[in-house]
Structure 1
Amino acid sequence: MSDLGNKKVMSDNIQYYLNKNGITRKKLSADLDISYSTLSSWLQADSYPRIDKIEMMANYFGVSKADLVENHEKEIVTNYFSKKPRMIPLIGTIAMGVPITAEQNIEKYIPEYMMDKYADDTLFALRCKGDSMYPLIPNGAIATIKQQPDVEDGEIAAVLINGEATLKKILHVGKTVVLRPANPEYKDIILDKDHPGTILGKMIKYEVNFD
C-alpha cells in the first residue's frame, strides 16, 4: 500500500473509533495532549502518527494497534448491513414554532444503520438542496443530523434560518457564528442578534441516490 493509502486507512480508522465512541476531535486532542492541528492533519490524511501516538490512541480506544493501522473496510461494511436499521424522520417543510421532528414536519421515515449510540429522538434527516455545499455535499443528498444546540469549528451543521434548514460549515468568531458554504461562489452567512438563526444539529454523514 502506498504512503497515501496508509494515511487514508489511519484517517478512516481514527474517525471510525471517534464516531463509535461518541468522542469529538477536541476531546481526543485534550485527553491525549495532542495538538488539535496535528490530530486534524492525521484525520485529513496529510500526515501519519508516530508509533508511540498510535499506541496511545489504541489504548485510549481500547483496541489493538492493528485495529488502527490495518484496512477494515470490508469488515465495517459487513457489520453495517448485518444490523437491523432504525427508521428516522426525513424532514420536509418546517413549521415555525414546533419541534423539528414534529409530525407536520416529517415527509417520511427512512432506514439508518449503525446509529445505536444515539438516542432514538436525537436523529433526523434532511434532503440537501442546491449547490452551496458542492463538491463536499452534492445536491439531492440525504444528510443524517444529530440534534444538538452547538457544533465545533469546521463541522457541518443544520441551521434553521427564516423557516429554512441549510447545511453549512460552522466557524465561531467571538459571539458571532459564521456559516461557510463549501462552494466558493457563495458568500458566508453571518449569524448575530440582527441576523438570527438556530443550530439544529451536527451532520453525521450523508448518502446519495436515496430512493
Structure 2
Amino acid sequence: MVTKGDSKLFYFAVGKNIKKYRDLRNYSLQVLGEKVGLTKKTIQRYENGEIKIDMDRLADIAEALGVEVPKLMEGAESFLGVDLSELETIKLPIVGRVSCGNGAMAYEDIEGYEETPKAWLNGGEHFYLRAKGDSMSGARIFDGDLLLIRKQPEVENGEIAAVLIGDEAVLKRVYRHGDQLILQSENANYPPILCPPTEARIIGKLKMNVIKY
C-alpha cells in the first residue's frame, strides 16, 4: 500500500495512466468501475489524482484493463517526494500543423491547450503534437497519443524527434549521414526515409508521451 506520506503527485501520474489505458480499451468510467466493483465517480477521482489508491486496488484495475501494474505506474515513481501543491503548471498548445515561413516556425490549427507541470520542462519552448498512425509503435507511441516536444533544431543521433517534411510534422528516430537525414520508424513495416537537408527540418525533440485522450 502506498503510505500516507507519499506524494500526491504520484497518484496524479498513476491516474493519468489509468485514463490512458481506459481510453485505449474504449471503456467508459462506468464500464471500468463495474469491472472492479467501484462507482464511476471513484474511478474518475482516481484518474484525477484526487484520492489515494492502494496496490491491491491498482492490481484490480490493471487486470481489468489488461495491462501489468508497472504500466499504470510508468513515470509515477519519479514524483515520489514531490507534493502536488508545490507543482506549478503551464498551458502548452496542442498543435495540429507547423509552418516555417521565412525561417520562423509557427503553430497552426491549434486544437487546445494542455495543463503541463513545469517540472516536466527544463528550459526552452515546448508544445504538443498528436501521434498519427502506427509507425512508432515499437517505441510505445500509438495513434492519438499526446507528445510533448521541446523545440530545438538539432538532436543527437538515435533520438526521437519531430521533423517537418513539407507541411507535415512526423515523429521519427533521427540519424545523420553527412548532410542527409535518415528518419527511422519503430515499426518494421515502414522503411527508412532519406531526406536531403533542403527537404526536412528538425523542429523538436520528443520529451515524453503524455496521454491519449
Question: How would you bin the TM-score normalised by the shorter chain?
Answer: 0.5 to 0.7
Residues 80 and 199 of structure 1: CA distance in aligned 2, closer, same or farther (over 3 Å): farther
Equivalence for 1:143? 147
Return the alpha-carbon distance in structure 2 between the equivalents of residues 74 and 191 of structure 1: 39
The code of the aligned residue for 2:209 comes to Y
Return the alpha-carbon distance in structure 2 between the equivalents of residues 95 and 80 of structure 1: 38
Equivalence for 2:114? 110
Structure having the higher strand fraction is: 2
1:76 aligns with 2:94: no
1:129 aligns with 2:129: no
Return the alpha-carbon distance in structure 2 between the equivalents of residues 80 and 150 of structure 1: 34
Q: Which has the higher contact order (CA 8 A, sep 6+)?
A: 2
Preserved contact between residue 100 and residue 106 of structure 2 (Cα < 8 Å): no
**CA deviation map 1:34-57 (0-9, x unaligned):** xxxxxxxxxxxxxxxxxxxxxxxx
Return the alpha-carbon distance in structure 1 between the equivalents of residues 173 and 150 of structure 2: 15
Preserved contact between residue 101 and residue 124 of structure 1 (Cα < 8 Å): no
Q: How many residues align?
A: 135
Return the alpha-carbon distance in structure 2 between the equivalents of residues 161 and 139 of structure 1: 19
TM-score by length of 1: 0.57
Return the alpha-carbon distance in structure 2 between the equivalents of residues 152 and 107 of structure 1: 30
Moved more, 180-189 or 76-85: 76-85
Q: CA RMSD in A?
A: 2.4
**Offset at residue 153 of structure 1 (A):** 0.8
**Offset at residue 117 of structure 1 (A):** 2.5
Return the alpha-carbon distance in structure 2 between the equivalents of residues 167 and 94 of structure 1: 13
The code of the aligned residue for 1:106 comes to I
Residues 189 and 73 of structure 1: CA distance in aligned 2, closer, same or farther (over 3 Å): same
**Offset at residue 177 of structure 1 (A):** 1.1
Equivalence for 1:158? 162
Residues 177 and 95 of structure 1: CA distance in aligned 2, closer, same or farther (over 3 Å): closer
Preserved contact between residue 95 and residue 105 of structure 1 (Cα < 8 Å): no
**CA deviation map 1:71-105 (0-9, x unaligned):** x9646245274402111111013346275444x44
SS at match of 1:135: helix
Return the alpha-carbon distance in structure 1 between the equivalents of residues 123 and 83 of structure 2: 16
Preserved contact between residue 91 and residue 101 of structure 1 (Cα < 8 Å): no
Residues 84 and 100 of structure 1: CA distance in aligned 2, closer, same or farther (over 3 Å): same
Residues 141 and 77 of structure 1: CA distance in aligned 2, closer, same or farther (over 3 Å): farther
Equivalence for 1:209? 212
Return the alpha-carbon distance in structure 2 between the equivalents of residues 124 and 80 of structure 1: 25
Percent identity of equivalent pairs: 31
Return the alpha-carbon distance in structure 1 between the equivalents of residues 126 and 135 of structure 2: 23
**Offset at residue 175 of structure 1 (A):** 1.8
Structure 1, unaligned runs of 5 or more: 1-71
Residues 96 and 171 of structure 1: CA distance in aligned 2, closer, same or farther (over 3 Å): closer
**CA deviation map 1:168-210 (0-9, x unaligned):** 00111122110000001001111115x6111001001112323
Which of the residues 179, 193, 200 maps onto 2:183? 179
Return the alpha-carbon distance in structure 2 between the equivalents of residues 80 and 111 of structure 1: 17
TM-score by length of 2: 0.57
